[in-house]
Structures are given as structure tokens and as C-alpha cells.
Structure 1
Amino acid sequence: MSGSSTIVVGIDGSEASDLATVWAALTAAGRDFTLRIVTAVDTPAHLDDAQTAEFAAMARSRLVAAETLARTTVDGSSLRIETELREGKVIDVLLTASTSSAMVVLGAVGLGESDSGIIGSAAVGLSTHASSPVVVVRGRSIDGRPPVSGPVVVGVDGSAVNQSAIAIAFDEASHRGATLVAVHVWSDVSLAQISAVPFGWDDIAASEEAVLAESLAGWQEKYPDVEVRRVVAQDRPVRVLTGLSEQASLIVVGSRGRGGFSGMMLGSTSYALINTADCPVLVVRGG
């Protein structure tokens, strides 16, 4: 996590951004961070002055509603909230915000849009290019709130850049008092494709367990309060992580990772998870 103590949430008035606001408010309150609620206004050029003013007024009303939701979510908390209306495209506004934030939070889809809508598109762009970690709040909810109980799951591929994701996963698990499930999937091809290959599977499995152990080395000592459960699986990363998301409170992955036979292709995996996971997904740029 960066040295910033501000969590930014991008909102557009949709149900998805409401869920993101709730998640961001709970997370900021739990860390005594400032919550900055940001909405972007990309005013169409053809509007006259009166229409432009109405456009801006609608954006300001979204900010008021989001701030009210955040304060209601953490009732009794001294949560510090800032609101900001920025002119420009949402992806550009949030990329700029990511340079001075601990994380950027947004919903999986946008107002009146399908999975390719404003926030949906921003989720993909931010996960790839943001300076800070990006949280896409999606999946199941209970009474309008994202899951707050359950383990934190982190995808581990053994690469150097993946260490950033592991560090944040331990930090998140520590703050939440949650178990950390560290997952290393060592085959990125289907079992049908490799079943006829005469490898020594026991030796390979032992080697991949060692990759996971080496990747976690030192972190358990730094976070002695975090219980760690290790999972080594011969399967597809997306299938394993999606299955675990059904009980998790958060999944942490890198925006890219080591490809190849023994690696988790976290570029494709993170992209799939922000569209399919049943809990919020935290994507970390490494390297």
C-alpha cells in the first residue's frame, strides 16, 4: 500500500457505484483513512449553458447522495469525507486520482450500462494503468452491503512482481482479522491436454508447493496475527479463484503475472475475475 491515507471511490449514481461507496466507506473507517468521493462530468459539447448547468447540478446531487450513503454506512464514525466533481472522462479522472490515493474503488458496471458501460470500461483501464491498487466491487451483497466476513484470497504465481499483491493481501487480512488463503495454481492448460504427458506429477506438485512457500517467506513473520491457509491446485487459475470467491470477502491478484506452464497468467485472470468473481476484487500493479 502506498503512503497515502486517502481512499478514492468513483461514483456515477448507479447501484454498482452505491455498493462501491459502501465498501470504500467501511474500508476507510476501518483504517482511519479519508474517503474521497469523485464523480466525473464529461459534458457533451452540443449542450447550451442552461443544459450544462443542469448536467453539473445532477453530478453534484450524486455526490450529496453518495456522501449521505457513506455516512449512513459508518453511522457514529468520525469518517473524514471529501467530495470532488471533476470535468473529463471517468477513466482520465480516476487515473489522475490514483496517483495520490491508497486505492481507487469503483463498481463493476456503470449507470444504465451493461458490462461494457462507463464504469465497466474504467474497471479494465484502471486495473491496467492505475498508479494505486484498484478495487472492483462486485458479486454478492447482503442488505445492500458487500461481504464483510470471509477470508482474503490472494493469487500467487511466484514472480517478483506478484510480491506487491501478496503484501497488500496480508495487510488486508490483518486489518479485517481474516484468514488469508494463498493460492498457487500450477497448470494453465486443461487436464485433458496434459494427461498423456509422462511427467512425474508428485515431483511437480512438490516443486510448486515450494514456489508458494518461497513466495510467502517473511510475510507470515511480518504479520504474525494473520492465519494463512495454503492451496496448491492443478487447474485453471480463474476456476479456482472464482470458486473461492463464493465464500471470500476479497480476492487480491496482480494485474499481470508470469505466464507459461507453472505460472498464473494474472493479466487474463484479473480481467476474468473483475467480470465473474462473487466478491470484490483488488488488482495490484506490480513492477
Structure 2
Amino acid sequence: MNSADGAAVVVGVDGSEPALRAVRLAAAEADRRRRPLRVVHGFIWPLLRVPVGRPPDGPPGSGLRHQAEELVARAVAEAEATRPGLRTTGEIIDGEASAVLLGESATAAMIVLGDRGLGGFTALLVGSVAVQVTTYADCPVLVARGEERPDGPVVVGVDDSALSRSAVDFAAEQAALRGTTLHAVHAYRYPASAGPGDMRPLVYDQNELRDEEQRVLTESLAGIAERYPDLPVTRDMVRDRPVPALTAASRRAALVVVGGRGRGELKGLLLGSVSHGLLHHSACPVAVVRAPD
């Protein structure tokens, strides 16, 4: 996470109800972290050479630019109503939504956005704003979806990758800030290959496999007790694929946290990868965390 002094929580808005849900989630996050909230709208019309001002014969307040100003103002008001006293600003930035938010991610503490926007069904497709931003952002991305359960645990998916360790660190901080439990879930099925060309064994000892996966789970949480001595931590090993296992855990969670790409995920670009699978199926908000460069 960008820890620069004054780094804001940035939320992307487009006037849709999912975007307003994201604003409320972002306001709560900024308040917990004692950071300012920055409301941003990607204004694509100038790039398409569409007139954005008031038409010559149009009524006062008409025009695409004015509509954008109004939707940003509504989002700022929503944030201020959600968390009174929160430092909140709004800005319209010319550009496509994904590009604008990715540009913001270089200096943001976090990006927050809805799981879908005004495009409706298009948000379910690879290439949507949520998928692009979670894949390429330089900071953690929080996607508002499902049901918010303030009393639920923060669930984190773990494996033996560097991204998993970053996700665990982020999830532990989230659980501590929220005053709730950290619940680590490690899903496994069969022995993994060591690399290209390495075949999985046809016969293996299930007890040895479980012991090895238990080691992965234990090592993924190394150091958490020392950094957060008062944080309750639970753990779960599940004989399943990661997406179904984490989706099941999300049904009682406040938040699910995963790395942007983990073992076996070709840089998070494959449909069906853990992070992208959860964007489609999680029953609560999802945070996607990248490992530091």
C-alpha cells in the first residue's frame, strides 16, 4: 500500500447505484484509516470529441459536463452523510474510467469501486473497469459487492506465494482496524507441479500432502501474532479449489482479501483466476492486493 503522508482513499463513480455503494464503503475505509477521501469520475466524452457543454438552445444546467459535476457532487454528499467530518473532495478527470483510476493508483492509499457500473451486464465480462483496475493498479483495490457484514471476519486466501503474504498483511491490518477476527483459508486439492514439464505424481501420501499444506498455512501467518498480539486468528484448510472455498467463506464475512495473482495464475489475466473469480462470485466486498515491486 502507498503509505505516503496524506495519501487518499480514491473512489471511482459513474452515477450508478453500485458506485454509490462503493462511496459508502470508501468513506468508511477512509475514516478507519484517518485518510481523506477523493471522489473521481472518468469523463470520457472529450476523448470522443462529443460536445460536453450546454447546447445553444438547451436549458440551464444541461450538458454532459454539468451532468458529471452533479453526479460527483451527489457522491461527495453521500460520503459526507455516511461519515460526517470526513475530508472529502471530488474531481472530474478527462479520460476512460479504468485509465483514470489506474493513474490515481500510483499515489492512492487504496482504490474503491463498484463491481459494475452503468453498463450493467458488461461489468461481468473480462475487460470491465473492476477487472482492469484490480489487475493493474499500483495499490490495493476494494470492490463493493455482495452484503456488508460489519461483525463478520476478514477472510484471506493463502498459498505459498509472495502475493499471499502481502494479502495476509493487508487482511490482518483490516481485521485490526475493524475490531474483528482474521480468518485464513487455504484451499488445496492435489500435489502441485514444481514447474513446466513437471508431472504431478499419480500416487501420493494423503497424510504427507496434508502436513505439507498445513505447513503452507502456518507459514503464511508467520509474524502476525507478534505484530497484532490482540488479533483473534482462525484458520481453515479446505480440500477444494480456491474460488469455491473463498466464496463459501464470504457468505459470513465482512471482507475477503486475496492477492492479485497467486500460484498458478498467469499474472491474474486468466478468466477463472482466484481474484477474478471472486469478483464474480463473492457474497461480500473483495480486496485485491499486489505484492510490492
**Partner residue, 1:47:** 51
* Secondary structure of the corresponding residue to residue 212 of structure 2: helix
Q: Are the counterparts in 2 of residues 242 and 276 from structure 1 also a CA contact under 8 Å?
A: yes
| Residues 183 and 70 (structure 1), Cα distance of their counterparts in 2 relative to 1, 3 Å cut | same
Distance 1:51 1:181 in 2: 55
Distance 1:13 1:98 in 2: 21
Cα distance, 1:30 vs structure 2: 1.6
- Does structure 1 residue 215 correspond to structure 2 residue 220? yes
- Does structure 1 residue 57 correspond to structure 2 residue 66? yes
**Partner residue, 2:113:** 106
Describe how 1:167-206 pairs up with structure 2 within 5 A: 167-187=169-189, 197-206=202-211
Identity %: 40
Cα distance, 1:34 vs structure 2: 0.3
Cα distance, 1:233 vs structure 2: 1.3
For structure 2, the residue ranges without an aligned partner over 5 or more in a row are 57-61, 192-200
* Secondary structure of the corresponding residue to residue 114 of structure 1: helix
Q: Are the counterparts in 1 of residues 187 and 239 from structure 2 also a CA contact under 8 Å?
A: yes
Distance 1:201 1:186 in 2: 12
* Secondary structure of the corresponding residue to residue 107 of structure 2: coil
Q: Are the counterparts in 2 of residues 41 and 85 from structure 1 also a CA contact under 8 Å?
A: yes
* Secondary structure of the corresponding residue to residue 237 of structure 2: strand
Counterpart of 1:246 (choices 251, 256, 260) is 251
Distance 1:132 1:238 in 2: 22
| Residues 276 and 282 (structure 1), Cα distance of their counterparts in 2 relative to 1, 3 Å cut | same
> CA-to-partner distance for each residue in 1:35-88, whole Å, 9 max, x for gaps?
0000111113143753597111101101111111111112xx321001111001
Distance 1:122 1:219 in 2: 33
| Residues 66 and 49 (structure 1), Cα distance of their counterparts in 2 relative to 1, 3 Å cut | closer
Q: Are the counterparts in 2 of residues 10 and 39 from structure 1 also a CA contact under 8 Å?
A: yes
**Partner residue, 1:11:** 13
Cα distance, 1:160 vs structure 2: 2.2
Cα distance, 1:122 vs structure 2: 1.1
Question: What letter corresponds to residue 70 of structure 1 in structure 2?
Answer: A
Q: Are the counterparts in 1 of residues 260 and 290 from structure 2 also a CA contact under 8 Å?
A: yes
When structure 1 is superposed on structure 2, of 180-189 and 22-31 the one drifting more is 180-189
- Does structure 1 residue 67 correspond to structure 2 residue 76? yes
Distance 1:12 1:177 in 2: 32
Distance 1:267 1:256 in 2: 11
The number of residues matched between the two structures is 270
| Residues 128 and 275 (structure 1), Cα distance of their counterparts in 2 relative to 1, 3 Å cut | same
**Partner residue, 1:192:** none
When structure 1 is superposed on structure 2, of 107-116 and 58-67 the one drifting more is 107-116
Distance 2:16 2:166 in 1: 31
Q: Are the counterparts in 1 of residues 163 and 260 from structure 2 also a CA contact under 8 Å?
A: no
| Residues 120 and 277 (structure 1), Cα distance of their counterparts in 2 relative to 1, 3 Å cut | farther
> CA-to-partner distance for each residue in 1:124-166, whole Å, 9 max, x for gaps?
11111100011111012xxxxx332200000101112321111
Counterpart of 1:88 (choices 95, 103, 106) is 95
**Partner residue, 1:2:** 2
**Partner residue, 2:273:** 268
Cα distance, 1:9 vs structure 2: 0.3
Distance 1:285 1:251 in 2: 14
* Secondary structure of the corresponding residue to residue 184 of structure 2: strand
Question: What letter corresponds to residue 163 of structure 1 in structure 2?
Answer: R
* Secondary structure of the corresponding residue to residue 116 of structure 1: helix
Distance 2:226 2:32 in 1: 23
TM-score (norm 1): 0.88
* Secondary structure of the corresponding residue to residue 49 of structure 2: coil
Distance 1:138 1:51 in 2: 37
**Partner residue, 1:143:** none
For structure 1, the residue ranges without an aligned partner over 5 or more in a row are 141-145, 190-195
Distance 1:136 1:94 in 2: 13
Distance 1:208 1:151 in 2: 22
